[in-house]
């Protein structure tokens, strides 16, 4: 008798568990990731300018030939052209 009661309780518990979990689980909606530059806990879009320590920085692609690369702050020279890393002829190991 004890085994039958325990088995019936177990079956009932396992059947109700997914229904109970669906009702009480919070709904989370995630937007597609945005490509932004961060500064002082604020998001900046591509092309945004900031001035820090008398130097201008622009939010731009990390690599000039890869328009889908991540956005980073690049320092501007006197002509307003971003200074990018020159990786030609260098080996980088991560």
pLDDT tens across 5-46, in order?
777 766 766 666 555 545 566 776 666 667 888 888 888 888
Q: Is 87 within the bounds of a domain?
A: no
Number of domains in the chain: 1
Q: Is 82 within the bounds of a domain?
A: no
Give residue 44's region: left, alpha or beta (phi > 0; psi -120 to 50).
Answer: beta
Domain holding 53, by residue range, is 37-75
pLDDT digits (tens, 9 = 90+) for 45-71: 888 888 888 888 999 888 777 778 788
Q: Which long-range contacts (CB under 8 A, 24 or more apart) does 44-53 make?
A: 46/71
Q: Is 90 within the bounds of a domain?
A: no
């Amino acid at each position: 008798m004890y085994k039958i009661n325990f088995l019936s309780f177990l079956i009932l518990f396992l059947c109700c568990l997914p229904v109970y979990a669906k009702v009480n689980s919070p709904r989370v909606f995630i937007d597609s990731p945005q490509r932004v530059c961060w500064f002082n806990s604020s998001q900046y879009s591509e092309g945004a300018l900031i001035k820090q320590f008398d130097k201008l920085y622009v939010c731009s692609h990390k690599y000039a030939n890869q328009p889908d690369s991540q956005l980073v702050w690049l320092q501007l020279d006197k002509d307003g052209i971003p200074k990018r890393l020159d990786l030609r002829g260098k080996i980088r190991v991560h």
